[in-house]
Structures are given as structure tokens and as C-alpha cells.
Structure 1
């Protein structure tokens, strides 16, 4: 499983010209689910998302987490995060999970965030979406969690 977290001052997602998710201060998270990913990976990444200290404290240092700031999450499913661009000019997506499994893991990831008291907005799974955001900082992080990955 791979996520891209962007600290934002605002973000929104539209489908067919209609806003389906919108947040102010918080993080926009692109979520890619691969073969073998499941609840353990989603739970670990939700914990990481909620506790990652990427928001400034009173001295301007990144010492505050999403849970400290009361920020929200805009979660967008994005299988293209698993695209393999090593060969040729067209990405291969064989590492991405089947849509049914990917949606279940994506939904579980968001449920884990909500269980932590975080407001979560979302896009529509497998829809053609237009996402806009104001990246704050900019702060952008890529986090991978391999199936059954051991903690170090």
C-alpha cells in the first residue's frame, strides 16, 4: 500500500462538476492499494497519517500531528500510485489490487481515521475526479507499507 500525504490549507474533489468532498486545513491523501494489502496495512497507515508530526508548533517547527490540530483528511483512491514505469513509456498497473479489494481496503483506511476522531471527506472510488488543493509548505510525503511488513 502506498499513500501520498500533502499538508493543505484547503482541498476539494469534484466528480462531473459536483463537489463530493472538501476540507480546509489538514491533509489530502492519495491512497494506492496493491496486491496482498489488507486491513493491517491500512490500519498502520491510518495511524501514521493521524500521528505524523507535519504541522507547525508555536515556534514554526513541525511538531504537531493531525490529531493535535483538529485538521481533516481528504482521501482519494488512486491506483496509479502503483504504476510501474521502469520499462517502456506506458506505466504498468499489474501491482495494483483488483478494484473490489482495493475499495474495501480504502474504505477500511478511512474508517480507521474516523475511529481516531478525524473528519474524513473522500472522492468516489474509480470515478474520474478533479482534485484541487493548496499545498501548505509545501509538505508532501510518500509512505509505503508492504504487506506484512515488520516494524523496525
Structure 2
């Protein structure tokens, strides 16, 4: 990713939006949680994000991780990732974690990434946000931990 920015929408139309987070080269992480997610999922997600080799080496192969590349992370809460549209005409968000536990998980995820030495910018949990992305690729990857044994 070349750059990403998240802006928080103002309460009223007269007020301007404000930038909450902005990064250059790195990952934009749209993060959602479901019922039953625990520290086990957070640890797995943190390790996966840090260890994925998505940046090019000298031969332009995806062979460098975020730390080797010197990239940053923009982490944005996104409960709509758990939208289920298989039935009806409106999405169901029944699989998304409730706001209170999801916010705790989100904050712990961000903290875990920072504790591992990464530069982390964020959106604002529960806010109306405008997210802007300049993608280098297209490279978009879904990272989801299977509920079964590894």
C-alpha cells in the first residue's frame, strides 16, 4: 500500500472532518471481531500481520515483512466485515461482536502491535469514518483465523 488515511466525520455538516491516522507505505488493516474472539485470536492476528511477507525484495518478489520494509499500520475498526447477506436484502450483523467487547479487543490488538515495535495509527472505534487508500497492486488479503485447531 502506498498510503492510507482515515478521517473522522464531524457531528454537524458545518464542522470539518479531522484526520485521525495517516501512513505511507504499510498496511491498512480493516479489523472486525466476532463472538468468542479472545487473546488467542489477538496473538495469532498480531503474529500473522507482523510475519506476512508482502513487500518486494530486490527481485520484486513478495519476500519482506512489514518490519523489514519499515512500513507502518493504519488500523480501523470495521464490524461490517461480518455482514451476512446470504438471506434477504439487508445485511445481518449478528456475527459481529457487540460494541463493548469489540472495542476492548480492538484496543488490545492495537496495543499488541505497538508493543512489538510497529508504528500504528488508528481510526476511532465506533465513529463515522472516511477511509482513503492508495493501493499498490491491487493486493488485498483477507486474514481470518479458522475456529478449528491449527
**Above 0.5 in TM-score?**
yes
Which structure has the greater CA radius of gyration?
2
The residue aligned with 2:2 is 9
Q: Which has the higher strand share?
A: 1
The residue aligned with 2:78 is 78
SS, match of residue 143 in structure 1: coil
SS, match of residue 23 in structure 1: strand
Task: Check conservation: 1:41, 1:146, Cα contact below 8 A.
Answer: no
Instruction: Write the distance in 1 (CA, Å) between the matches of 2:39 and 2:105.
Output: 6
Task: Check conservation: 1:11, 1:132, Cα contact below 8 A.
Answer: yes
1:104 aligns to 2:104 (yes or no): yes
- Alpha-carbon offset, residue 145 of structure 1: 1.5
RMSD: 1.0
Runs of 5+ in structure 2 lacking a partner? 10-16
> Highest relative contact order (Cα 8 Å, sep 6+), 1 or 2?
1
Instruction: Write the distance in 1 (CA, Å) between the matches of 2:105 and 2:21.
Output: 19
Residue pairs, 1:86-97, within 5 angstroms: 86-97=86-97
- Alpha-carbon offset, residue 150 of structure 1: 2.0
Runs of 5+ in structure 1 lacking a partner? 1-7
Aligned residues: 143
Residue pairs, 1:1-152, within 5 angstroms: 8-16=1-9, 17-147=17-147, 149-151=148-150
- Alpha-carbon offset, residue 34 of structure 1: 0.3
**TM-score normalized by the length of structure 1:** 0.91
Divergent runs of 4+, >4 A: none
**TM-score normalized by the length of structure 2:** 0.92
Instruction: Write the distance in 2 (CA, Å) between the matches of 1:133 and 1:58.
Output: 25
